[in-house]
Amino acid sequence: MAHNTKNGTTGGPLAGVKVLDLTIYQNGPSATAMLADYGAEIIKVESKTGDGVRFLAGPNSRSDGLMAFNRGKKSITIDLKHKDAKTVMKKLVEWADVMCENFRPGVLDKLGYPYEVVSKWNPGIILAANSGFGPDGDWATRPSYDAVAQAFSGAAVWNGGGPSHRPRVLPWTFSDEVGAMNFYSSILAALYAREKNNGIGQQVLTSQVGATLNFQRATLQGSIKNKRQRDNGKEPGAAAAHSQQLQLTGDKKWIIISMAQKAQFQRFCNHVINRPDLATNPLYEKFPLIRGSENKQDFINEIGREIAKNTREYWLNLATKNSVPMAPCAT
């Protein structure tokens, strides 16, 4: 929840925005939870059996996902297939600024709430949908969850090391969260557009797969440029391991040293590890580029020998003093 610094009250930039939330599981509820964090009033509509995320923790267990993705919301149970549901839904649509759903395309229409209907009830309504594959194409109506989007978008193969290696899904329900952030920002853009358009709403269509593809855009750009995909089986980021180094300190604790600028590298060599010879070595004169890929591992090993001479706290203090990006790998 944002804090209003003018008068000291808790409110936020979205105070006064009313959201009717029909979303389920994670990629929708996480987006509407962010709206709640910034002050929007959310009424979450659950079916008579409840949001499916309630039951992922098993019987008689509290669902951490339910709590994490539905914080700050009010809730109501409505059987949308019931003959009298439309009477209640019409009142809620008239109340709302935004109506959110993440069903497969066409599901909300079959339930009787297409944009053409809800916009007649409330011309200012923003009807925002976040499906797995988007509204168009052969895959549009197929069911999807996080791992499906990761697989379809190429993220699982990239994370596994390339086409010749076993795909590996990213943790934290990656596509769900990337999709949620895209959904959230699209809703904000629609709210802004409504302010400029005399209060007239619109339909907003987003997808998990589209958001996951967009998240990979720099990697995709490189693959298109090089006409090939990375297929070395190494963990992601291995190519930049010299500029973002994982090192083990003398007290057996891991740190990350991240140096994207030559000036940071020079301060690190001269003032942190006291190795000015590395800063002047012709192989590293264009750091973060290193002359000859075979020299990268030697460089990492050389720094590793220095880092192993002292404790994590010692190195963190020196890095902070000399403005070198470094952090502990916390549990």
Assess whether 64 carries a catalytic annotation: no
User: Looking at the predicted structure, is the pLDDT value of residue 325 above 90?
Assistant: yes
- pLDDT tens-digit profile of 61-90? 788 999 999 999 999 999 999 999 999 999
**Which of these is catalytic: 21, 176, 251, 277?**
176
Q: What is the pLDDT of residue 274?
A: 97
pLDDT in tens, 261-312: 999 999 999 999 999 999 999 999 889 988 877 788 899 999 999 999 999 9
Q: Does domain 238-328 have CATH number 3.30.1540.10?
A: yes
Q: What is the architecture, at CATH level 2, of domain 18-218?
A: 3-Layer(aba) Sandwich (3.40)
pLDDT tens digits, 197-209: 999 999 999 999 9
Question: For the chain, what's the residue count?
Answer: 331
Domain residue spans of the chain: 18-218, 238-328
